[in-house]
Amino acid sequence: MPETTNEPTRARDDFPRLADPFRRELLAHCYRMMGSAHDAEDLVQETYLRAWRAYDGFEGRSSLRTWLHRIATSACLSALEGRSRRLLPAGLGLPGSDPSDVLVSRPEVPWLEPLPDALSGVGEGDDPAAIVATRESVRLAFVAALQHLPPRQRAVLILRDVMRWRAAEVASMLGVTTTAVNSLLQRARAQLARVSPSEESVAEPTEARERELLDRYVAAFERKDVGAIVALFTDDVVWEMPPYTAWYQGPERIARHLESVCPARPGRTLLVPASANGQAAFGLYLRDGAGDYTGFALQVLTVTPAGVSHVANFMGPRLFETFGLPRTRPFHGRAA
């Protein structure tokens, strides 16, 4: 009797070993598309499940990496059908708020979320140019700008300008012509230029300068020295606090908000370092009464040579677990 084999099973057994090295870049890709770390993780899981089921039919006409990105992009486009865009308050088209206005919370709005560097692999690898490119492609301002694009334009711009795919490859993936891809890319670039920051505004300071600014920021915030905090800001700094729709621009308005609304108190505030979107981040904890510190917000800072130009405060401790931060921290008799 001839020996029987089970080639599809054998092929699927090889799949995890071959596909796992692409997991982080797939998550970063899905995050750029979706604007949510949680949605991105779900779609990466869906991508791997779809790919595993179809792997015995994978003929190798493209690389495994390209094939996985094709599946992930398709999953993202399907997930985006009928969904609202994920934005930050400043992206809603409303003017900057006055600190005397009553804060309005909109928890039902699907706000843009930050991405932990530990999930995307930002800063890892041996190629400095690749590290910088990856960090820039997940920066909060860039991902926020991407959300203004229709899903197909978003996919084309990411695949062409971030992934550096050829137009013919993208056309094959999306089932359109190369001419259509070029048209979508042109429109996406034009829209992105209108809503994204200039290169000068995202220029990076030296490592020593950034460390100095962040050390001063932590010290000033933990002692609630509003003057020292806003002295570290640029003239056009933006302060946002999703799920609150209010946003403030300029040191003077932010100072008024911190003085009149922010519940942080000297000696009762703790900032714990984190890292999000290739940027500095902090878990902000407040201590009320005689108890321990409780998670209050996750701050993501944009630091430029001129100072801090943007602070996104993701209010509440909901994201702390994603960033490996506990929701409460014990009080040991003094601030950090």
* 209-262 pLDDT, tens digit each: 999 999 999 999 999 999 999 999 999 999 999 999 999 999 999 999 999 999
- pTM here is 0.90
Domain layout of the chain by residue ranges: 94-147+204-336
* Owner of token pair 């770390």: 37
CB burial of residue 98 (10 Å; 0-12, 13-18, 19+): exposed
Residue-wise pLDDT for 189-209, tens only, equals 999 998 876 554 466 788 899
- The pLDDT assigned to 162 comes to 94
- The pLDDT assigned to 123 comes to 60
Q: Dihedral sign, CA of 207, 208, 213, 216?
A: positive
Integer Cα distance of 250 and 76 in angstroms = 36
Structure token digits, residue 192: 């992105």
Report whether 43 contacts 30 (CB < 8 A).
yes
- Tally of CA atoms within 13 A in the half-sphere of 170 that contains its CB: 24
Q: Which residues contact 7 (CB under 8 A, 6 or more apart)?
A: 56
Integer Cα distance of 36 and 118 in angstroms = 15
Q: Which residues pair with 282 in a beta bridge?
A: 273, 299
Integer Cα distance of 105 and 261 in angstroms = 14
Report whether 174 contacts 33 (CB < 8 A).
no
> Per-block average pLDDT, block size 10, for the chain (336 residues)?
50 86 95 97 97 87 91 97 93 92 95 94 63 82 96 97 95 94 97 74 78 97 97 97 97 97 93 96 91 95 96 96 94 61
- The pLDDT assigned to 3 comes to 46
Integer Cα distance of 274 and 298 in angstroms = 9
Per CATH, is 94-147+204-336 categorized as 3.10.450.50?
yes
Backbone φ, ψ for residue 44 (5° rounding):
-65, -40
* Owner of token pair 């084309």: 156
Cα 236 to chain center, whole Å? 22
Backbone φ, ψ for residue 63 (5° rounding):
-70, 160
Integer Cα distance of 226 and 5 in angstroms = 72
